[in-house]
Amino acid sequence: MKTIAIDSLEGIDAAATEFAATLGDNRIVAFYGSMGAGKTTFISALCRHFGVEDDVCSPTFTIVNEYRAADGESIFHFDFYRIDSLREAVDIGFGEYLYSGNLCLIEWPEKVEDLLPEETLNVRITASDDGRRTIEIDND
């Protein structure tokens, strides 16, 4: 397990760069963390690292946002907080996104774990009372 510490918001871009270096061939990343842990903020920094110029925001109501990276590749950002069943994820074509070969960044993966492939990279973001964040990457 790899751990990345973020002491303040000023360090988030460096943390995103460090995280990106650990991705390797992983294209599906599940971000676990409580409400307010910083999942969307970190995903935004990660998208900046890949050259996304669009505003990155949580797709809470749309379920998925698509961003274009500097290399022209799509990055898919999912937020499953508001879904009530796996059928909702299936109905939006979640499986097609997962096997597209594009980077898929997933918030609230607990809601769709039964659909996630074995090779999903699991990441946990935790927040401390002093505002620090810890990112734990299960890259085993």
CATH number of residue 123's parent domain: 3.40.50.300
Q: What is the mean pLDDT of residues 63-70?
A: 95
Centre a 10 Å sphere on the Cβ of residue 93 and count the other Cβ atoms it contains.
11
Per the structure, how many domains does the chain have?
Answer: 1
* The model's pTM: 0.94
Tens of pLDDT, residues 84-117 = 999 999 999 999 999 999 999 999 999 999 999 9
Tens of pLDDT, residues 8-53 = 889 999 999 999 999 999 999 999 999 989 999 999 999 999 999 9
pLDDT of residue 140: 61
Residue 61 pLDDT greater than 80, yes or no: no
Centre a 10 Å sphere on the Cβ of residue 96 and count the other Cβ atoms it contains.
8
Gap between the Cα atoms of 83 and 35, Å rounded: 15
Report the residue count for the chain: 140
Domain that holds residue 119: 2-138
